[in-house]
């Protein structure tokens, strides 16, 4: 995680993890570059000899700890079939979406109080007591763009941007309301930083044009950021450089992961956007 103008030339008093992260996100120079990750696969947590994601974060020397947010009991997410969001899963992988009508949208939009089931309150309290000096983050792929194309399926969603724009906006609005409710709950539990997962790019560029992004996605991103009382980082894989001016307009404080395999040049992006966005990642994880 690089603050806007992080070229360390002098020594600083040692900072605690939370202070280090928030200093970087405020575009000031911390004592060192903060270490950050959102998620670690369960198999890697086991390989590290840890019992849970949070202890893995701490024992790897990371400055951020993800608060516990398991899918609630009874959720069909990741299970074969259609889940409560209209996403189709097979063998643990997303394959398509089913939302195509107003009735579908109503059927596959859980009520906002469903967010309460996503957080194990006792476990969240325990984690915060165990690691009081760490920066607590909450991050999830529930951003409106990702939630939209997963609910409809890629082909249908991108066609409907042109053929049924009003319906797409209705879907995006519904997913935005859910997203805000989820993050508000996380903030009420003591989260310091929110990470909005909304994948927008492939290896050659954004999935939709910057013009369409401005029309369909920017208003919802801006509202999410404005509604939250904590800094918000945007996570998006892919080549998203052309969308970064709108990330700044939306009010994001940082961008992650600046995927090298997609041609995201850290030096170039930092020179152009480093005055407004903290740069996070740029480590190639492709195997």
For residues 219-224, give the mean pLDDT.
98
Band of the pLDDT at 287, cuts 50, 70, 90? low
Instruction: Categorize the per-residue pLDDT at 8 as very low, low, confident or very high, splitting at 50, 70 and 90.
Output: low
- Residue 266 falls within a domain, yes or no? yes
pLDDT above 90 (res 281): yes
CATH at 226: 3.20.20.210
In this predicted structure, the answer to whether residue 240 has a pLDDT above a threshold of 90 is yes
Residue 172: inside a domain: yes
Between CA 92 and CA 48 the distance in angstroms is 23
Query: What is the pLDDT at residue 91?
Result: 92
pLDDT, tens digit (0-9, with 9 covering 90-100), for 209-220: 999 999 999 999
Output the pLDDT for position 2. 62
Residues 39 and 12: their CA atoms lie apart, in Å, by 29
pLDDT tens across 47-67, in order? 999 999 999 999 999 999 999
Across residues 132-141, what is the average pLDDT? 90
Within-domain flag for 96: no
- Say if pTM beats, i.e. exceeds, 0.75: yes
6 falls in which pLDDT band (50, 70, 90)? low
Rounded distance between C-alpha atoms, residue 236 and residue 149, angstroms: 14
Give a yes or no: residue 10 inside a domain.
no
The Cα 194–Cα 227 span in angstroms is 12
Is 80 within a domain?
no
**Average pLDDT in the 242-262 region?**
97
Determine the structural domain holding residue 137 and report its residue range.
17-70+112-150+165-279
Residues 77-106 have pLDDT tens digits of 889 999 999 999 999 899 999 999 999 999
> Per the domain annotation, does 274 fall within a domain?
yes
CB hemisphere CA count around 265 (13 angstroms)? 5
Among the ranges given (6-20, 122-136, 253-267), the one the predictor scored with the smallest mean pLDDT: 6-20
Q: Does 122 fall in a domain?
A: yes
Domain count across the chain: 1
pLDDT reported for residue 264: 97
Is 62 inside any structural domain? yes
pLDDT digits (tens, 9 = 90+) for 178-207: 999 999 999 999 999 999 999 999 999 999
Nearest to 260 by CA among 280, 233, 234: 280
**Angle ∠(202,196,221) on CA atoms, nearest 5:** 90
Would you state the pLDDT for residue 27? 93
Indicate if the pLDDT at residue 285 is higher than 80.
no
The gap between the terminal CA atoms of the chain, to the nearest Å, is: 22
| pLDDT given for residue 212 in this prediction | 98
Residue 13 has what pLDDT?
87
């Amino acid at each position: 995680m690089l603050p806007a103008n992080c070229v360390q030339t002098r020594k600083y008093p040692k900072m605690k993890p939370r202070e280090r992260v928030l200093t970087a996100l405020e575009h000031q120079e911390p004592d060192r570059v903060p270490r950050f990750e959102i998620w670690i696969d369960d198999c890697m947590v086991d390989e590290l000899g840890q019992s849970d994601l949070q202890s893995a974060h701490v024992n790897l020397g990371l400055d951020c700890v993800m608060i516990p947010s398991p899918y609630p009991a009874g959720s069909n997410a990741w299970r074969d079939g259609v889940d409560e969001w209209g996403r189709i899963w097979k063998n643990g992988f997303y394959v398509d979406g089913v939302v195509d009508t107003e009735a579908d949208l109503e059927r596959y939009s859980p009520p906002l109080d469903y967010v309460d089931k996503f957080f194990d309150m006792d476990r969240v309290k325990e984690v915060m007591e165990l690691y009081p000096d760490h920066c607590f983050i909450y991050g999830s792929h529930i951003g409106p763009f990702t939630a939209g194309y997963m609910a409809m399926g890629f082909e249908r969603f991108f066609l409907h941007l042109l053929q049924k724009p009003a319906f797409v906006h209705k879907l995006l609005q519904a997913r935005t309301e859910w997203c805000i409710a989820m993050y508000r709950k996380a903030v009420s539990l003591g989260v310091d930083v929110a990470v909005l997962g909304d994948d927008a790019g492939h290896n050659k560029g954004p999935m939709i044009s910057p013009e369409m992004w401005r029309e369909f996605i920017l208003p919802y991103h801006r509202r999410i950021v404005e509604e939250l009382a904590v800094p918000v980082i945007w996570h998006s894989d892919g080549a998203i450089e052309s969308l970064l001016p709108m990330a700044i307009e939306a009010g994001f404080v940082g961008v992650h992961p600046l995927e090298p395999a997609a041609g995201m040049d850290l030096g170039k992006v930092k020179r152009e956007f480093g005055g407004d966005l903290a740069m996070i990642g740029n480590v190639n994880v492709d195997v």
